[in-house]
Structure 1
Amino acid sequence: MAINISNCDGFQWDDGNIDKNWKKHGVKNIECEEVFFNQPFMVGDDHKHSIAEKRYFVLGQTDLGRKLFIAFTVRARKIRVISARNMTKNEKRKYYEKT
């Protein structure tokens, strides 16, 4: 069962993730945050990567309409982005079907 992100009260950015997504995929932190506030979005469990801690993914869009896949976890009610990138064609298809 996917998490209810309405229970979260912010984002966790630190040296471990502050510029990782910009360097790796050209995604800004503000774009990651926008996805969680723009409807529609789709949240799911990331079973494959939930070994050490529970992980989730969100498919959504930025204020400018950029479609992103974001892997994240929740620590102390904060959303911690693990990875963010453009959606693949298959992810876009799922996003449009489910939202």
Structure 2
Amino acid sequence: MGDTATVPEFEGFDWSGGNAEKNWERHRVTPLEAEQVFFNTPLLQGTDPAHSEMEKRFYALGQTDEGRELFITFTMRGRRLRVVSARAMSRKERRVYRS
């Protein structure tokens, strides 16, 4: 994982580009679940330098309203947060998140 960071202030979500469908098909995560992560605590955030060649990327570890623990990769498009990928946390990520 990259350095810790705080999610920039944002005014909403950008679901263009088919990422909503991709996250559902690959990981069974709905857009609503991905969005809930950013409004629940705890929320761990950081930068993702390994995937930031084209645009700065971030990651977030958090949970949905139902307690589902998710790993989110995202970028900023202006003042909108664009989810690139949303999936269940790995065992290692859960350990970090819960500690």
Q: TM-score, normalising length from structure 1? A: 0.91
The CA deviation at 1:19 is: 1.0
* Residue segments in structure 2 that go unaligned for 5+ positions in a row: none
Deviation at 1:15, TM superposition (A): 3.8
- After TM superposition, what 4+ stretches of structure 1 lie above 3 angstroms from structure 2? none
Q: Structure 1: where are the runs of 5+ without partners?
A: none
Partner of 2:50, secondary structure, is: helix
* Aligned alpha-carbon RMSD (Å): 1.1
> What TM-score comes out, normalization by structure 2 length?
0.91
Q: Distance in 2 between matches of 1:64 and 1:96?
A: 16
> Size of the alignment, in residue pairs?
96
- Post-superposition offset of 1:18: 2.5
Please state how far the C-alpha of 1:8 moved relative to its aligned partner. 0.6
From the superposition, tell whether residues 92 and 79 of structure 1 become closer, same or farther in structure 2 (CA, over 3 Å). Answer: same
**Percent identity of equivalent pairs:** 50
1:3 Cα deviation (Å)?
3.6
Whether the aligned pair in 1 keeps the contact of 2:37 and 2:43 (CA below 8 Å) is: yes
Moved more, 56-65 or 16-25: 16-25
Match of 1:71 in 2: 73
In the alignment, what sits opposite 1:59? Answer: 61
Structure 1 partner of 2:5: 2
Contact in 1 for aligned 2:34/2:64 (Cα 8 Å):
yes
- Distance in 2 between residues matched to 1:19 and 1:62, nearest whole Å: 18
